Amino acid sequence: MKKDANKSPSPAKLRRHTEKALLASEERYRRLFEKSHDAIMTLEPPSWKFTTGNPAAIAMFKAKNEAEFVSCEPWKLSPERQPDGRLSDEKSQAMIAKAMREGSNFFEWIHKRLNGEEFPATVLLSRVEQDKFSFLQATVRDITGQKRAEEALLESKALVEAVVENIPLMIFLKEATDLRFVIFNRAGEELLGYDRKTLLGKNDLDLFPPEQAAHFVAKDREVLDGKAALLDIPEEPILTAKKGRRLLHTRKVCIRGADGTTKYLLGISEDITERKQAEAEIRKLNETLEQRVHERTTELARANQELETLIRIASHDLRSPLVNIQGFCQLLNKACASITSLLADVSLPDEARQTLAASREKAEKSIRFINAGVEKMNSLIGGLLRLSRLGRAPLVLQSLDMNVLLNTVVEAMTFQIRAAAADVTVETLPDCRADAALINQVFSNLLDNAVKYRDPARRLRARIWGRHPGWGRRPGWDCREKDAHTVYCVEDNGLGVAPEHQQKIWDLFYRPNHQENGAGEGVGLTVVQQIVERHGGKVWVESEVGKGSRFFLTLPADEKEAKP
Ligand code: ADP
């Protein structure tokens, strides 16, 4: 038995065993050949035509069956030239020769299906030795899908690169580990004044002064350590190689890998130097304007004060020569009285009497003229003084019951009103906030004018009325006034003011020509205008000669709108 165990198998048994193993291996190979997704075919010398083709090869090349496939001329299964420009025939000979020489050859190839459609493929040519005969086995894989995906990937990569490259903002990407630059766009090169070759692979410490580099690194770390998802640095100074000191607005974010680990730091910086300079200049310009307004206001206030002083001094100084003139007039009057007593002397010769009488008459006439002139001058100076006092006195603002105030005004004028047999009506008036004494002056002047400039042809009817803010629209009256001011009107049926005088009557000493010698100084309306404007209001007149006038004025309706 022992002997049997060591006994080698008989040759017949060995052959049977080998044949069985061979059959099994052939079966495995056949299955692989038939089920493979890759096209598998054999080519044999010397024509190197395909001699077999698996079902995948038949389907790939769109042949009806294996017979049609193997009967095909090889040149029909490739386009005339390959992408490198070489003739497919010539190149395939070279590929085959290499595979035969080296045992195998792997390469990319453009094939052609029998319907003429071309497709990219990888080809593996393997030399097979059988019974001293060498042939080739080709494994062809259609890589159309892979090529398309690669192209799409390249295209989207090119797109992203084009955007990054052309965007007018500095874009950079740093490795999270050592903060070295791995991407830098054109705007970044221009801003920093270095070319990309210099920048890539470097970090901030290689490029900037130590203090500045330390600041950048600290900010990068803040983002990478997760302290801020997005770091916004609105104004970041930077010292660049060519442009010197610039001001940036920088945003930094952390880029993570699929596994969540920090991979890169992405930075986007905008050069805001020029914008900030422009903003500063505009601010400076605005200030200089404001400054000019302030200077002019101060200048105007000073000029006004000087003018007031001048008026005060002039009016005061003009008064003394007037007193002198009046004094000498009195002396002249006395001289006239002496002449009168001389004339009483009966012994006086007739000729002398006549001469003396004529001289006395002339002197008395001159004295009358001088006196009238002096009086006129005196009243003008009085007007000037009143006006100069107006500018200086501070406003005492209070809520005014205008009906009470107008009662006082009308009462004070009772004598003139009666003398003129005038009919004066005061309607219910809205209140305002103003200086009582000054507003009394305003209405006194206006009512006095109504009486003075009445039409002798008819009985004077004067009416004082008022409206609350928001009443109608009038010339020279803007919305602000309309909303915050009350309106008052002194209306009469007097002589009226001709259109050409309606603006000028507000000027100091202005009186229409025809009444040059009549009563009045031409100061009353100027005083009215000054007072109303000091309160922030406006005055205007509507009038028609022969019919009458309406003198309007606005005053602040409440405390907020009152101007000191
Ligand atoms: P004055 O009355 O002293 O002349 P005003 O400044 O008060 O000075 O008036 C200026 C001029 O305006 C007057 O001379 C007069 O011609 C005209 N005026 C003023 N009020 C009236 C009025 N109610 N009716 C007609 N004319 C007027």
Residues 6+ away with beta carbon under 8 Å from 385: 311, 312, 315
pLDDT score, position 232: 93
pLDDT for the residue 243: 85
Percent of the chain with pLDDT over 90: 57
Shared domain for 444 and 545, answered yes or no, is yes
pLDDT of residue 31: 87
333 and 365 both lie in a single domain = yes
Contact at 8 Å (CB) between 485 and 496?
A: no
Domain for residue 206, yes or no? yes
Evaluate whether residue 290 is within a structural domain: yes
- Residue 161 domain flag: no
448 in the same domain as 540: yes
Ligand 1 centroid from CA 422, angstroms: 17
Atom number, ligand 1, closest to the C-alpha of residue 526: 6
Task: Tell me the β-bridge partners of 544.
Answer: 548
Residue 491, C-beta contacts closer than 8 angstroms, at least 6 positions apart = 462, 463, 464, 465, 548, 549, 550, 551
Spatial separation of the C-alpha atoms in residues 59 and 265, rounded to whole Å:
50
Q: Is residue 293 part of a domain?
A: yes
| Cβ(495) – ligand 1 distance below 6 Å | yes
CA of 460 to the centre of ligand 1 (A): 15
Helix (H) or strand (E) holding 429: none
Separation of alpha carbons 327 and 339, rounded Å: 19
**Mean pLDDT value across residues 312-320:** 79
DSSP 181: E
505 lines ligand 1 (CB under 6 A): yes
CB 449 less than 6 A from any atom of ligand 1: yes
- Does one domain contain both 265 and 374? no
Residue 365 shares a structural domain with residue 221 = no
Shortest-distance Cα residue to atom 2 of ligand 1: 520
Q: Are strands 423-426 and 461-467 parallel, antiparallel or unpaired?
A: parallel
Q: Is 525 in the pocket of ligand 1 (CB under 6 A)?
A: yes
Phi-psi region of 502 (alpha: psi -120 to 50; beta: other; left: phi over 0): alpha
- Residue closest via CA to ligand 1's atom 23 equals 450
Query: 391: pLDDT confidence band, cut at 50, 70 and 90?
Result: low
Least confident of 66-70, 189-193, 384-388, 541-545: 384-388
pLDDT for the residue numbered 559: 53
> Using CB atoms within 10 A of its CB, is residue 548 exposed (0-12), middle (13-18) or buried (19+)?
buried
The 10s digit of each residue's pLDDT in 57-111 is 999 999 999 999 999 887 889 999 999 999 999 999 999 999 999 999 999 999 9
- Cα atoms in the 13 Å half-sphere on the side-chain side of 207: 25
Looking from the CA of residue 490, the nearest atom of ligand 1 is 23
Q: How far apart are the first and last CA of the chain?
A: 140
Average pLDDT, the chain: 88
Total domains present in the chain = 4
Would you give the DSSP letter of residue 184? E
Chain centroid to CA 188: 28
pLDDT of residue 518: 59
445 close to 531: Cβ distance less than 8 angstroms: no
pLDDT above 60 (res 333): yes
| Structural domain range at position 302 | 278-391
What sign for the dihedral angle of Cα 497, 502, 506, 508? negative
Closest ligand 1 atom to the C-alpha of 524?
7
The response to whether residue 522 sits with its C-beta less than 6 Å from ligand 1 reads yes
Residue 550 lies in a domain: yes
Among 379, 445, 505, 517, the mutation site with the greatest number of ligand 1 atoms within 8 A of its Cβ is: 505
From the alpha carbon of 520, which atom of ligand 1 is closest?
Answer: 3
pLDDT digits (tens, 9 = 90+) for 457-493: 999 999 999 987 766 555 544 444 445 789 999 999 9
Domain shared by 23 and 144, yes or no: yes
Q: How far is the CA of 537 from the centre of ligand 1 (A)?
A: 20
Least confident of 179-183, 224-228, 444-448: 224-228
Say which residues have a Cβ less than 8 Å from residue 440's Cβ, sequence separation at least 6: 405, 408, 409
pLDDT given for residue 392 in this prediction: 67
Task: Answer yes or no: do 361 and 310 share one domain.
Answer: yes
* Interval between CA 418 and ligand 1 midpoint (Å): 20
SS3 of 250, please? strand
The band of 215, judged by pLDDT with boundaries at 50, 70 and 90, is very high
Which of 240-249, 377-386, 473-482 shows the lowest per-residue confidence on average (mean pLDDT)? Answer: 473-482
Ligand 1 atom nearest 492 alpha carbon: 23
Is 348 among the domain residues? yes
Clarify whether residues 354 and 372 are in a common domain: yes
Higher per-residue confidence, 167 vs 25: 167
1 has a pLDDT exceeding 50 = no
Query: Of 271, 293, 310, which closes a domain?
Result: 271
Identify the weakest region by mean pLDDT among 59-63, 220-224, 416-420, 473-477: 473-477
Does 201 score more than 90 pLDDT? yes
Binding site membership of 455 for ligand 1 (Cβ less than 6 Å):
no
Residue 377 shares a structural domain with residue 418 = no
Closest CA to 562 of 389, 431, 429: 431
Give per-residue pLDDT as tens, 265-314: 999 999 999 999 999 999 888 888 888 888 888 888 887 777 777 777 77
Q: What is the pLDDT of residue 479?
A: 40
pLDDT score for 3: 44
C-alpha 389 to ligand 1 mean position (Å): 21
Last residue of some domain: 148, 182, 207?
Answer: 148
| Residue 282 CA to ligand 1 centre (angstroms) | 50
Same-domain status, 126 and 139: yes
* Pocket lining: 441 vs ligand 1, CB cutoff 6 Å: no
459 CA to centre of ligand 1 in angstroms: 18
222 close to ligand 1 (CB < 6 Angstrom): no
Instruction: Say yes or no to pLDDT of 383 above 60.
Output: yes
- The enclosing H or E element of 379 equals helix 350-392
Q: How many CB atoms lie within 10 A of CB 39?
A: 24
Alpha-carbon dihedral angle through residues 412, 417, 423, 426, given to the nearest 10 degrees: -20
What is the number of the ligand 1 atom nearest to the C-alpha of 522? 8
pLDDT band at 2 (very low <50, low <70, confident <90, very high): very low
The better pLDDT of the pair 503, 318 is held by: 503
Q: For residue 162, tell me if it sits in a domain.
A: no
- Give this prediction's pTM: 0.48
- Report how far ligand 1's centroid is from the alpha carbon of 449 (Å): 6
What is the arithmetic mean of pLDDT over 150-154? 91
The pLDDT of residue 40 is 94
Binning pLDDT at 50, 70 and 90, where does residue 564 land? Answer: very low
CA of 406 to the centre of ligand 1 (A): 20
Q: Are residues 415 and 556 in the same domain?
A: yes
Going by alpha carbons, the residue nearest to atom 19 of ligand 1 is 449
Among the listed residues 37, 53, 35, the one whose alpha carbon sits nearest the alpha carbon of residue 141: 37
CATH number at residue 63: 3.30.450.20
How far does residue 375's CA lie from ligand 1's centre (Å)? 19
Q: Where are the alpha helices (DSSP H) in 498-542?
A: 524-534
Span from the CA of 482 to the centroid of ligand 1 (angstroms) = 27
- The last residue of a domain, from among 391, 410, 442: 391
Ligand 1 pocket member 548 (CB < 6 A): no
Q: Is the CB of 491 under 6 A from ligand 1?
A: no
Do 226 and 352 lie in one domain? The reply is no
pLDDT given at position 472: 55
CA of 122 to the centre of ligand 1 (A): 112
CA of 494, closest atom in ligand 1: 24
Work out the pLDDT band at 7, boundaries 50, 70, 90. Answer: low
More confident residue, 83 or 388: 83
Q: 308 lies in a domain? A: yes
Mutation to probe ligand 1, out of 390, 453, 461 (largest number of atoms < 8 A from CB): 453
450 lines ligand 1 (CB under 6 A): yes
